[in-house]
Chains A and B, each alone.
Chain A
């Protein structure tokens, strides 16, 4: 069965530190990839998405992610985090044969301290 792995369950950083959150998926075919963020007390919202084209995707709030097909990865990055980035981050994947079904990773809780 298709699955998504987020190996970092809890990440603690100081402001201005660089961030990279790992995401790996298990599916050999064509995929669409997403990162969602859930700020404390807020809706789950889309940070960025990859459907096709340039594998380096830029999203909101200075986040970016790189799709590396050979590694089945879609890691999220931000060069300099802010306290307001404290949130839970979810990677999600859907495959070409079931474009309505989104598979989520277990999430990474990011805490940023001033």
Chain B
């Protein structure tokens, strides 16, 4: 069964802690993406990766980091430097220049 999995669905952290969100895909897509969704702001691109071992900053990369060591995996770390980390985080993947497919999301709450 092909698709994109994100875990966990809900995540709670204390302020000042780094947290890593998981994203795995078995669609054999080359490109993977991380978005942040906030009410009334749509989806904003954090980071994206077109091939393994390479990634680019999106529009709101500050306070986030990523790695792409395997084609199937693109974890996102929300660092303590991110000023407003509470949000809904969506991972997506695509073939190069194709439409993006989205995972179910992780809702992160930092208190």
Residues of chain A with a CB closer than 8 A to B97's CB: 99-100
A6 CB to nearest chain B CB (Å) = 8
B38-59 contact mask (Cβ, 8 Å, vs A): 1 or 0: 0011111100101000000010
CB-contact partner of A106 in B40, B45, B58, B94, under 8 A? B40
Residues of chain A with a CB closer than 8 A to B102's CB: 36, 43-45
Cβ-Cβ contact count across A and B, 8 Å cutoff: 46
Q: Which one of B41, B92, B99, B102 has the highest number of Cβ atoms from chain A below 10 Å of its Cβ?
A: B99
User: Which residues between 86 and 114 of chain A lie within 8 Å of chain B, taking CB atoms?
Assistant: 90, 92, 99-107
Q: A104-B42, A106-B41, A107-B42 are in contact. Are A34 and B48 (CB under 8 A)?
A: no
Bound-state Cα–Cα, A42 to B31, Å: 22
Q: Is the CB of B104 within 8 A of A101?
A: no
Residues of chain A with a CB closer than 8 A to B41's CB: 106
Q: Is the CB of B42 within 8 A of A106?
A: yes
A1-42 contact mask (Cβ, 8 Å, vs B): 1 or 0: 000101001000000000000000000000000101000001
**7 A-B pairs closest in CB distance:** A99-B97, A44-B102, A106-B42, A104-B43, A104-B42, A107-B42, A43-B102
List 9 A-B pairs, Cβ < 8 Å. A44-B90, A44-B92, A46-B101, A100-B31, A100-B50, A100-B97, A101-B45, A101-B58, A102-B100
**A44-B43, A92-B43, A106-B42 given. 20 additional CB < 8 A pairs?**
A9-B40, A34-B99, A42-B104, A43-B103, A43-B104, A43-B105, A45-B102, A46-B99, A49-B99, A90-B43, A99-B96, A99-B97, A100-B31, A101-B45, A101-B48, A102-B33, A104-B42, A105-B42, A106-B40, A107-B42
